[in-house]
Amino acid sequence: MNYNTFLLRFGFNPADFKNKEATIVEGDDDSIIYELEQEIHDRTCPNCFNPKTQVKDHDWVEITLNTTIGKREYLRIRKTRFKCPKCKTTFTPSIQGIERYEKISDITKQSIIQEFYKIQSFKDTADRYGVSVQTVIDLFDEYTKIMPRRPLPEYLCIDEKHFEGDTSGKYVVVLSDFFTGEVIDVLENRQMPYLERYFDSISFYERRNVKVFISDMYDGYSSIKDRYFSNALFVVDLFHVIKQLTEIVKKIRVITYKQFLDADSLEYHFLKTNWKIFLCDQYKIRKNLYHSSKFDITIPYGEIILRCLKKNQVFWDAYDILQELLHYDKYESWNDANKFMERIINKLVLSGDDMLIGVAMTYKKWKTGILNGLARNQTGRRYSNSVAEGNNSMIDKIIDVSNGYKKFKRFRARIMLIMTYNNQNRESK
C-alpha cells in the first residue's frame, strides 16, 4: 500500500511522520502493528515560545486503529520529547488525528461513537475495536455529556418503565410522540415533586402546543395533565383499561380452581395450566380443539371453557364482561362508546363481587379519558399509548443486551441515541 494512502486511511497526516515505509510487526494476539517515527517540524516550547529546545528522550506510543481487514491493527509511533532550557517545560509535538494522552486515534473514536447508536453492549464494542470496556464507557459518557430532550409534540404519550439504579424511585417516565413514535425524553422519577419540577422548567408556550395527552390510570399523570396541559384532550390508554379487568379475571380463575374444583378433574387441570385462554377473544379459539393426554380426551375449547365457567358464577360474569370489552372496536363514536362503557360498568356492579365492583369504580373515575380513547379521532385512528408500549419493548431490548444499567444518566443517553437521535440521523441522510 502507498505510504501516504496507508496513513490517510487511518486519518493521519503523512507530513507528521518520517517518509519511509512502516515496519510491520506481528502481535502476540495475531494483530498487526505498524511501526513509524514521528517527523519534527516545529520544536518551539509551547510555554515560553523558545525555538531552541533540546531533545530529552524518545518513547514508543501504541495507538489502536480502526480496522477493516478483520484483524486488530495498532500504530506504534516513536515520538520525540523535548525540554526547554529556559522554562524547563517538557513537551512532545502533536500528531494530527491523535489527541494528547489518548491510546486510540480520532477516526477510531468516531467509529466507536457510531456503534453507540446500535443495540449492543459496551463489551461487544470494546471487543470489536480491541480496547477496554472502560475506554468505551468513558468515550460514551463524554460524547453524551449533553443530551437534550426533544420539543414536546402535539400528541404526547406518557408511560413509566421499571428501573432500579441510582435513582430514588423504581420507575422512570418515558415521553413519546404518538404519531412519530420518537422518544421525547426519559425522566428519572415518576413521583409528583420531580414531575412538577420537570414540567415547571418547560415554558408555558411549549406546553400549550400539546393538544392530546395520553397516559394510563396513574393519578400522578392526571394531576400533571390538569396542571400543565389543561387545554389538551385527556386520553386513557385502552391497553390499561383492559388490563384492569384481565388482572381480576386471573385472580378469579385461581379462586375457581382452588375452591370450586376437584384437583383430579379435567376442569381443574385446564384452568390451572391454560390461564391465557381465558384472556383471549373466544370467537377466535372456541372451535379449535384442546387435547389432554392426561385424561385422553379431545374437546373444542369452547366446550371446556364453558364447563369451567359453570363452576363459579362470578367467574362466568367476569369472563363474559371481558369478552364484551375485547370488542370495543365496534364503538367508534363518542356517544356509542359512552353507552358501551355504561353497560360494562353496570354489569361489573351487578356481579356483586367486590373485585369486579372495584374495577367498575375505576372505570367510572376515568370514564372521560376512556371514552376519548375509545372514540376514533378526526384521522380515523384511536388515540392510545401503543407507541409508548412499543418503545418500552425496545427499551427492554437495550437493557437485556447490556445486562442492565445502574446509572440513569447513561441509561437515558443510550435510549435517546438509539431511539431518537438515531432516527434523525437516518432522516438527514
d(CA 295, CA 269): 10
pLDDT tens per residue, range 207-237: 999 999 999 999 999 999 999 999 999 999 9
- As a whole-number percent, the residues of the chain with pLDDT over 70 amount to 93
d(CA 191, CA 50): 61
* Residue 276 reports pLDDT greater than 80: yes
Of 98-107, 313-322, 342-351, give the lowest mean pLDDT range: 98-107
* Residue 84 reports pLDDT greater than 60: yes
> How does residue 278 score in pLDDT terms, banded at 50, 70 and 90?
very high
pLDDT at position 429: 35
**What rounded mean pLDDT belongs to the chain?**
88
Q: Of 289, 302, 291, 305, nearest to 256 (Cα)?
A: 305
* Residue 286 reports pLDDT greater than 90: no
**What's the whole-number mean pLDDT along residues 347-363?**
97
426 vs 383 pLDDT, higher one: 383
pLDDT at position 428: 39
* Residue 425 reports pLDDT greater than 50: no
d(CA 356, CA 344): 11
pLDDT at position 60: 83
Of 36-40, 255-259, 267-271, give the lowest mean pLDDT range: 36-40
**What's the whole-number mean pLDDT along residues 242-246?**
95
pLDDT at position 101: 63
pLDDT at position 3: 61
pTM over 0.75: yes
pLDDT at position 166: 86
pLDDT tens per residue, range 9-30: 667 777 878 877 767 776 666 6
pLDDT at position 427: 44
pLDDT tens per residue, range 397-413: 988 888 778 899 999 99
